[in-house]
Amino acid sequence: MEQMLIMGTMLDFIRKYKDWAALQAFGIADIVEIVIISVVVYHVMKWIQLTRAWTLFKGLLLLLIFAMLAEVFQLDTISYIMSRSLGVGIIAVIIIFQPELRRALEQLGRRNFFEKLNIFGEFPGDDQLLSEKTIHEIVRASYEMGSVRTGALIVIENQVALGDYERTGIAVDGLVSSQLLINIFEKNTPLHDGAVIIRGNRVVSATCYLPLTESLEIGKELGTRHRAAIGISEVSDSVTIIVSEETGRVSLAKDGRLYRSLESEELQQKLIELLTDHGSGSSRSVFSKWKGMLNNGKADKK
């Protein structure tokens, strides 16, 4: 019995010594390696969130969790099928996202490696929630443009990033105001054609091209603006406001549906429900809500 206790004590001592030796062996090279891997993973995640690949990434993550559960509960047939499908899945991802991958490599080749190296910068999706003041400015601009029959297409980004469509336009990066939106869509100005994309409380891009819906249920009386608004709402969770150039009426597109001829109060209430923390339909990211709570806490301390 005593021999067993001595043997157990010796084994514990050996384990502790091995752990201490491993800790002692941890050097500068390991720290540099961890930093490099962290930066690479951060920028890959940042790039993924700014493209349509983010939705696919979340789907792949769910499949990975499902595969792990199948392995834990020894579901052999499911595990076999998923392991055999892995190679084909990787090739399919490369084929589907070939334009995005090529664009990312081109950007990497044009960029200085240390340019804008910001490890502790904001993660995509950390933008503040749309404020009610911004919503008021959007609604005001929409109905002022409608009163003079100025056509407009305003896309408000939600949780799914619209980086692919943002790059088709011209960068603006201005605080949302009714005057700015009216000036952008003024007829015969360089920025009036196409859509405006709003992220958080800022106009990020103008003259953007949007995908047209292929739905056969859309009435023939609706023009390209309405079809583009429905099209972008089908491929993302964005909210799009359309001001008709022919009738001056204001409509809203969300999740492939078109809400036509809304009054200003209806539009404002719908935007508050869909795009702010106060609305029951808010689907903004956890990062945004966490950041908002932190900002509120700082304001209270002041």
pTM value is: 0.58
Which is higher by pLDDT, 181 or 98? 181
Distance CA 238, CA 241 (A): 10
Question: Of 286 and 71, which is predicted with more confidence?
Answer: 71
pLDDT of residue 55: 66
Q: What is the pLDDT of residue 54?
A: 65
Among the listed ranges 148-162, 190-204, 274-288, which one has the minimum average pLDDT value?
A: 274-288
Higher pLDDT, 52 or 60: 60
Find all residues with CB under 8 Å of 209, minimum gap 6, and list them.
Answer: 165, 168, 169, 194, 195
pLDDT digits (tens, 9 = 90+) for 5-59: 445 555 554 555 555 555 556 678 878 888 888 888 887 777 666 666 666 667 7
Compare 39 and 244 and report the one with higher pLDDT: 244
Give the model's pLDDT for residue 94.
72
Residue 169 confidence (pLDDT):
93
Report the candidate in 282, 272, 232 with the shortest Cα–Cα distance to residue 256: 232
**How confident is the model at residue 286, as a pLDDT?**
39
Whole-Å CA distances, 64 to 8, 58, 85, 297: 40, 10, 12, 37
pLDDT attached to residue 91: 77
Instruction: Give start-end residues of each CATH 3.40.1700.10 domain in the chain.
Output: 132-276
Architecture per CATH, domain 132-276, reads as: 3-Layer(aba) Sandwich (3.40)
At residue 269, the pLDDT reads 92
Whole-number pLDDT of residue 124: 42
- Evaluate if residue 293 carries a pLDDT over 60: no
The mean-pLDDT minimum among 67-71, 88-92, 208-212 falls in 88-92
pLDDT confidence of residue 76: 79
Which is higher by pLDDT, 27 or 199? 199
Per-residue pLDDT at 254 exceeds 60 = yes
- Segment 60-70 mean pLDDT: 79
> Which is higher by pLDDT, 276 or 288?
276
Most confident of 11-25, 221-235, 275-289: 221-235
pLDDT at 245 over 70: yes
Task: Measure Cα distances from 32 to 20, 45, 58 in Å.
Answer: 21, 20, 29
Between 104 and 169, the more confident residue is 169
In this prediction, what percent of the chain has a pLDDT beyond 70? Answer: 67
pLDDT of residue 37: 87
CB 181 within 8 A of CB 152: yes
The tens digit of pLDDT for each residue in 105-161 reads: 655 554 544 444 444 444 444 444 688 899 999 999 999 999 999 999 999 998 888
